[in-house]
Structure 1
Amino acid sequence: MKHSPNDLIMLFNDLFRETFRTVLVRGGEEPEYLPADSHNELARIVFAHGFYASALHEVSHWCIAGKHRRTLHDYGYWYCPDGRTAEQQKIFEQVEVKPQAIEWLLSVAAGSRFHISVDNLSGAGACDQQGFAYRVLQQAEAYLANGLPERAQAFFDTLTSFYGTSDSFSKTWREDVRRVVPLHFAKEHYEAN
């Protein structure tokens, strides 16, 4: 299946341009969220390098940002770029669990490949890469059991419809969990189901 970021742009913008006055746009080096202002009537989710996965990740952040946060540049969050210390990385991993869980579910809904990202290649690396992956899995499973946030659910439904993955989602999800999370972490959970 071919995955074009243009499809995500079209789907997202058709779904959210009018209701949330927000558009998804292709960007350059760094992803960024730009709220509406006196020069731009629409908020913009800018994803990096035109990468499909970057678009899904940035949409995931938007899906959990509350109304006030969506009025702030980059949702008002602290961000320390690649090269973080171990302490900075620990904070980064804590705040990335929910967006990466949503990104993973959106990726499976779109039939695209997801990768856990600790995003610290030139720094101290991950604090606990396997533990982080497992926490992302736990959050994704909680979303599946209890429901995604409203905007995430709307985009998830749009993706499963567009890519025709509704009927195969559960099977594909279980397969992807085995690929993404080391088996010794997920084995007990999936043997019980």
Structure 2
Amino acid sequence: MHQVDELIAIFERTFFKRYRTRLVLGTDEPIYLPANDECSYHRIVFAHGFYASALHEIAHWLVAGEQRRLLEDYGYWYCPDGRSKEQQHEFESVEVHPQAIEWALCLSAGFDFNVSADNLGGEQTCRFSFQQRVHDKLQSLIATGFNERTQLLMRALAEHYQQPYPLEAHHVTWRPPEELDYAV
């Protein structure tokens, strides 16, 4: 069973000393909060104690560059649930990279990955098409390499959960249903 307390401890050991960043259990919406006058360290706040939410928020932190990590929510504006089809496509194109990182973290932790379209009250797009793009990005990252922070966490997770490291293409087993049309 995957416990968020374990993930919080792994993240702390791996990153706090060098990056002054902590993974924090939140109660509501996830958010990234940089250090300020009230708190001397950066906080990745994840929702409702969900392990999957924590991995997703960590993935955004791993993608964000040094300057973006100084801004609340990395300086991005979030378009909430209820997006139009066009807004959803834009959301998905921004989410491909972090969700590919999240998938890699899931594999490193032996945890099931589920792509998140995060638009329950809006117009739907093809979930399989989005997952295919996330899958393709993950395969590209495996081939070209992950950034240093991502590699550090993948290794720490793999060691803790006794999963294979380094991640290789054959570790990713998702295959889209062939009979579906993925044109969007």
TM-score (normalizing by structure 1): 0.88
Aligned 1:25-174 pairs, distance under 5 A: 25-126=24-125, 128-166=126-164, 170=168, 173-174=171-172
Once the 2 structures are TM-superposed, how far is the Cα of residue 184 of structure 1 from its aligned partner?
A: 2.6
Matched with 1:11 is 10
1: CA distance between counterparts of 2:172 and 2:21? Answer: 33
Task: Give yes or no for contact 2:26–2:46 (8 Å, CA) kept in 1.
Answer: yes
| Matched residue SS, 1:184 | coil
Larger mean Cα displacement after TM superposition, 36-45 or 80-89: 80-89
RMSD of aligned residue pairs (Cα, Å): 1.7
Mark the runs of 5 or more structure 1 residues left unpaired by the alignment: 186-193
Task: Give yes or no for contact 2:8–2:24 (8 Å, CA) kept in 1.
Answer: yes
CA 70–167 in structure 1, closer or farther in 2 if over 3 Å, else same: closer
CA 24–150 in structure 1, closer or farther in 2 if over 3 Å, else same: same
2: CA distance between counterparts of 1:171 and 1:138? Answer: 11
Paired residues in the alignment total 179
Residues 106-164 of structure 1, C-alpha deviations (whole Å, 9 max, x = no match): 001101111011000011122x3222111101110011111112111110011111111
Once the 2 structures are TM-superposed, how far is the Cα of residue 169 of structure 1 from its aligned partner?
A: 5.6
Task: Give yes or no for contact 1:108–1:172 (8 Å, CA) kept in 2.
Answer: no
4+ long deviations beyond 3 Å = 167-172
User: What is the letter of the counterpart of residue 33 of structure 2?
Assistant: L
Report whether the alignment pairs 1:184 with 2:178.
Answer: yes
Structure with the higher fraction of residues in helix conformation: 1
Once the 2 structures are TM-superposed, how far is the Cα of residue 14 of structure 1 from its aligned partner?
A: 1.0
2: CA distance between counterparts of 1:172 and 1:52? Answer: 24
Identical-residue share of aligned pairs (%): 47
2: CA distance between counterparts of 1:156 and 1:5? Answer: 16
1: CA distance between counterparts of 2:172 and 2:93? Answer: 24
Mark the runs of 5 or more structure 2 residues left unpaired by the alignment: 180-184
CA 172–160 in structure 1, closer or farther in 2 if over 3 Å, else same: farther
| Matched residue SS, 2:178 | helix
2: CA distance between counterparts of 1:65 and 1:111? Answer: 24
1: CA distance between counterparts of 2:8 and 2:90? Answer: 30
2: CA distance between counterparts of 1:147 and 1:81? Answer: 32
